[in-house]
Chain A
């Protein structure tokens, strides 16, 4: 039975289109496509050879090991060279031609060290407006070993948020050492040597128990019956006690 005219003509046209697609595919698909997955493997190479802009602190220490070891012994031990000096791969490649900048402006250090309540507690922060506002920071602090020239007496130098919150509270006149015993080593090694917290209800009871005699204005409760299972600060925030 002869096929109707339409069929062979259509078959030829479709076959030609498919052959064209197959031919195009073998000619146009990139050679490295599919080698490791559904992508052009050569792309990984072209990304891997992009130029490096930050050399990395190991490269700096190859030549500047004196500064490097001073830095590693001080408070900026975690701060890489290029955090302050900018990307210096160019300087590593051609040391005499490319000079790294050294920031001298107060606003540079303030980026990290200006007080901001969102920063984690204990991070050293100052108020740039009031803290020696006329001098460059490096006049007193060696950026490679930034020990403060005078060891801060107030805890608020590092615990800025707590100090500022307490300053708005009823406990404003209580010095930190009223409740916390602090070893001097805490200023040197803060995370290893920690201040103490009162661990007995009787401590807060010295002012707040009905029978207490100190601070007549302090609110009083009956220590024996008031939530006797808990330590006071398990509910009340001592730096900003809620009771009006």
Chain B
């Protein structure tokens, strides 16, 4: 501890689990928005990743409440958020926004997308598996043209609803922080916007990583125009995200409010590694340079430089660095906001546990769990087929 902090501020209240929650919902929102690029904006090149992005979003969304439940003092009372939500509290919206997004957007979207495959699999299977797939179809086994067109239209409408819903799902998290007037590090109009764009960045990077890695494991060739397009979208999203972060930074420096002293001290001492090194250099500058120099979509004439294999490696490395950088952003916001005292006169420390209910081990487990769920989803709802037929749209 350094300087003066209020006695009650010694312990940090929101730790690794709360860093993890916006990270996960960010991945969900980002992956969904990537999927919507193909469905609503007809970006044909990223079509091979459409189903994978949906399943990724679903897998991570299923895990998203777990860090919150793990952090609550009384998780067994968490249902109260559905019964008596305080309409003035952004956090109370969590239950409803989450339920809306999970059911009306993601589950419905996945169901409409996969209904035909499920019906076909139910018809081809026997015994328990047959009933399993049949139950997933909810008994809607009609595969007539009209039915399939309904699926397609429904999917498109849901995606259109889903885009603002994804903005809401992650934007409200930014608002939870941005609306706390007591905390000058959090209190900012830009907070929901920065959260959202960094979410989009992390979602695109995640789908890129998963597509490359799963293609590697399945020994299938990678669709290079697809990954080139993903890389260029990642680049554009990062440019917007960095611009917003720089805007926030410059704005703070220019206005030079009372908190600028302690915040500068915090950045140069407590947050140097996580903000300057991890978030800015490793998480933003290096990937921007890597993507900017390698992606053919960003070069004149659209020609690729270097072999396909080299580009895949560069994209993978850049995407992994981006994920580290976005995780650092969440860390810097959540933990950074609690490292300085509201008296503006001192700094405290965050002692991260390794084991324990908010430890590093649990964090890794919660990051691995969605991948396990995704593996299960992929088995039941394969996102890839060699010739993926869909009614024209």
How large, as a class, is the contact surface on chain B?
10 to 19
User: A-facing mask of B139-168, CB < 8 A → 1, else 0?
Assistant: 111100011001100100000000000000
A17: chain B residues within 8 A (beta carbon): 103
Closest partner residue, chain B, to A13 (CB atom): B138
Least Cβ distance of B154 to chain A in Å?
A: 7
Answer yes or no: B249 CB below 8 A from chain A CBs.
Answer: no
B140 touches A5 (CB 8 A): yes
A28 touches B83 (CB 8 A): yes
Answer yes or no: B392 CB below 8 A from chain A CBs.
Answer: no
A4 touches B83 (CB 8 A): no
B140 touches A6 (CB 8 A): yes
User: A-facing mask of B177-205, CB < 8 A → 1, else 0?
Assistant: 00000000000000000000000000000
- Give the contacting residue for B146; candidates A4, A9, A13, A33; CB below 8 A: A4
B83 touches A24 (CB 8 A): yes
B320: chain A residues within 8 A (beta carbon): none
A6 touches B150 (CB 8 A): yes
How large, as a class, is the contact surface on chain A?
10 to 19
Chain A interface, >50% SS class: helix
Within 8 A of B (CB), among A91-128: none
A14: chain B residues within 8 A (beta carbon): 103
B154: chain A residues within 8 A (beta carbon): 6
**By CB atoms of chain A within 10 A, which of B82, B112, B140, B146 has the most?**
B140
Answer yes or no: A192 CB below 8 A from chain B CBs.
Answer: no
Least Cβ distance of A23 to chain B in Å?
A: 11
Within 8 A of A (CB), among B81-102: 82-84, 86
How far, in whole Å, are A225 and B276 apart by their CA atoms in the complex?
A: 60
User: B-facing mask of A31-74, CB < 8 A → 1, else 0?
Assistant: 00110001000000000000000000000000000000000000
A5 touches B83 (CB 8 A): no
Least Cβ distance of B259 to chain A in Å?
A: 27
A33: chain B residues within 8 A (beta carbon): 84
B146 touches A28 (CB 8 A): no
Within 8 A of B (CB), among A176-227: none
How far, in whole Å, are A128 and B138 apart by their CA atoms in the complex?
A: 85
- B residues whose Cβ falls under 8 Å from a Cβ of A: 79, 82-84, 86, 103, 108, 112, 115, 138-142, 146-147, 150-151, 154
A-B complex: 3 closest residue pairs judged by Cβ atoms = A5-B140, A4-B150, A9-B138
- A residues whose Cβ falls under 8 Å from a Cβ of B: 4-6, 9-10, 13-14, 17, 21, 24-25, 28-29, 33-34, 38
